[in-house]
Structure 1
Amino acid sequence: MSNELAEKQFCSQSFSHWEAELTLGFAPRGSKTALVNRAHRGPLTVQRPFYPEGGVCHVYLLHPPGGVVAGDQLSITATVEPDAQALITTPAAGKFYRSGGGEARQNVNLSVADGASLEWLPQETIVYEGARLNSSMNIDLAEHARFIGWEILALGRPAAGEGFDNGAATLSWRISRAGRMVYMERLHLDAEAFQARWGLFGHSACGTLFVYPATALQLAAVQELIGDEANRGVTLIEGLLICRGLDRRADLLKGFFERVWGLVRGDVVGKAVCAPRIWAT
């Protein structure tokens, strides 16, 4: 057992839990988007912004403990003002460790104003066997906002010979546009869903990617990208593109989502793909 994992399990048993909150605000300042509001409580913060492509503000979320245990609660709020452009990612995979019975909670609230764009592109979340995760994503888009976001989940650690024979992950998405709910989903994954044909059928990685606004042109481009590839799918609902995937490895699924991102970013954000430098380290 690694020292990090042993420490996490000890923390969960001793009821020493983290409650962390992070609030971010983005606004245009001259030719760039600035991080004008940054407030945090507990071990959740960001690095200084990066500008690898000019005006778009790239921000990396940091969670210094390195993982989440039962009883931990993380809350992230980001607001993007009119005409601002922001990209939020993480320097490494998120980790939710084995639970003694309680849940770890993560709540993300994103608000994007008219003329603004937000790209929410965290690296994958690893849910260890026996972990219990409850995650909610609430996205409030103005009528003329632009958004690209994904969530990639890895259940167990197949490279370490670990499946997902116990534990659970509950994922909720709520997306509204101009104050009207346009998409709502609640997904519960446990050991049965992990193995079942109607569930993940043994695939350790699953994910969803959202794009707004999208048209039939973007839908057709992603359908062509998918071709006959198994365990990939895409649909368009009221201007919201929804792309899903299953895979044996989270990095392969992320690679697929990156290709979709490359197809749609120019039309949605108005810029060619510029991958965050942290992904290459």
Structure 2
Amino acid sequence: MPVNLAASSIPDATSEPAAWEAELRLGFSQRGDKTVLSNSEHRGPLTVQRPFYPEGGICHVYLLHPPGGVVAGDQLSITAAVEADAQALITTPAAGKFYRSGGGEARQAVNLNVADGASLEWLPQETIVYEGARLNSSMHIELAEHARFIGWEILALGRPAAGEGFDNGAANLNWRINRAGRLVYMERLRLDAEAFQARWGLFGYSACGTMFVYPATPLQLAAVQALIGDEANRGVTLIEGLLICRGLDRRADLLKGFFEAVWGLVRGEVIGKEVCAPRIWAT
């Protein structure tokens, strides 16, 4: 869904509101022929809508953050556990927003656990990191040996539609993926004003993203390579059955479109269903 970055207001950095601490814990279980949201606990302004079932037994859940944005001092924690044979898809109704800071840091921690025979799709809409924001984000994914996972993270730095770059602020991103208790992928990335402009960094592109697919095969790698073709600022690799796609773009919606195309190529074999885009993406 295209994001109108120019229309978003920014809180005054000199008068930041009181910080929020919010925690959400979700559990998914297979009951009969469908997956149910068997556990939902929350503290603070972080919750979910009732589950949707647009494609039969797979449970679609939308994360809600009523304040509409995250400011310095806020701390968000999201935990989701998918039990054996359950299938869940988690997304958001709108882009996440991290507003500029007067010096403090906002933190977000996501912990996902997927059991044997279960599948989880973590497909949030893009995260907008406003100029001057300070974000510390961590993603920890625990996969059982025969778990299935598709997930992405898309960042939009600054507000290019309003002529704003990312001359101030920083986003620290940490990914950790374990399979059967063994570390298979770890990445720590710091995006600041220097990385935003440098050739070795984003080279002025405002949108960047990473997508993971497990388990993946060399045939799927070849299919994604064919999808990319000669298109610049797109890449894909396969490491121990983990497919990793990366992209840069001038617009977050175009990058999301690329990831959706990859999703369309791999979902049938990984999840066992053809793509069923959440209806909220079209609103």
> For the superposition of Structure 1 and Structure 2, which TM-score range results when normalised by the shorter chain?
over 0.9
* Contact residue 14 and residue 102 of structure 2 kept, 8 A: no
Distance 2:171 2:36 in 1: 35
* Contact residue 9 and residue 69 of structure 1 kept, 8 A: no
Displacement, 1:30? 1.0
Cα RMSD after superposing both structures: 1.4
* Contact residue 11 and residue 17 of structure 1 kept, 8 A: no
Change (3 A) 1:233 1:4: closer
Q: Could you tell me the TM-score, scaled by structure 1's length? A: 0.97
Distance 1:188 1:98 in 2: 17
Deviations, residues 156-183 of structure 1 (Å, cap 9, x unaligned): 0101111100100000000000000000
Partner of 1:70: 72
Unaligned runs of 5+ in 2: 1-5
Give the letter aligned to residue 275 of structure 1: A
Partner of 1:31: 33
4+ long deviations beyond 6 Å: none
Displacement, 1:3? 9.6
Partner of 1:265: 267
Matches within 5 A, 1:209-228: 209-228=211-230
Give the letter aligned to residue 225 of structure 1: L
Give the letter aligned to residue 112 of structure 2: L
Partner of 2:60: 58
Distance 1:19 1:11 in 2: 18
State yes or no: 1:5 paired with 2:21. no
Displacement, 1:193? 0.3
Distance 1:4 1:72 in 2: 18
Deviations, residues 20-50 of structure 1 (Å, cap 9, x unaligned): 0000000001111000000000000000000
Unaligned runs of 5+ in 1: none
Give the letter aligned to residue 87 of structure 2: Q
Q: Could you tell me the TM-score, scaled by structure 2's length? A: 0.96
Partner of 2:3: none
Residue 194 of structure 1, aligned match among 193, 196, 217: 196
Give the letter aligned to residue 41 of structure 1: R
Displacement, 1:10? 6.5
Partner of 1:164: 166
Deviations, residues 193-245 of structure 1 (Å, cap 9, x unaligned): 00000000000000000000001011000000000000000000000000000
Partner of 1:92: 94
Paired residue total: 278
Partner of 1:234: 236
* Contact residue 149 and residue 214 of structure 2 kept, 8 A: yes
Partner of 1:43: 45
Distance 1:50 1:117 in 2: 16
* Contact residue 119 and residue 148 of structure 1 kept, 8 A: yes
Give the letter aligned to residue 110 of structure 1: L
Change (3 A) 1:264 1:2: closer
Change (3 A) 1:53 1:164: same
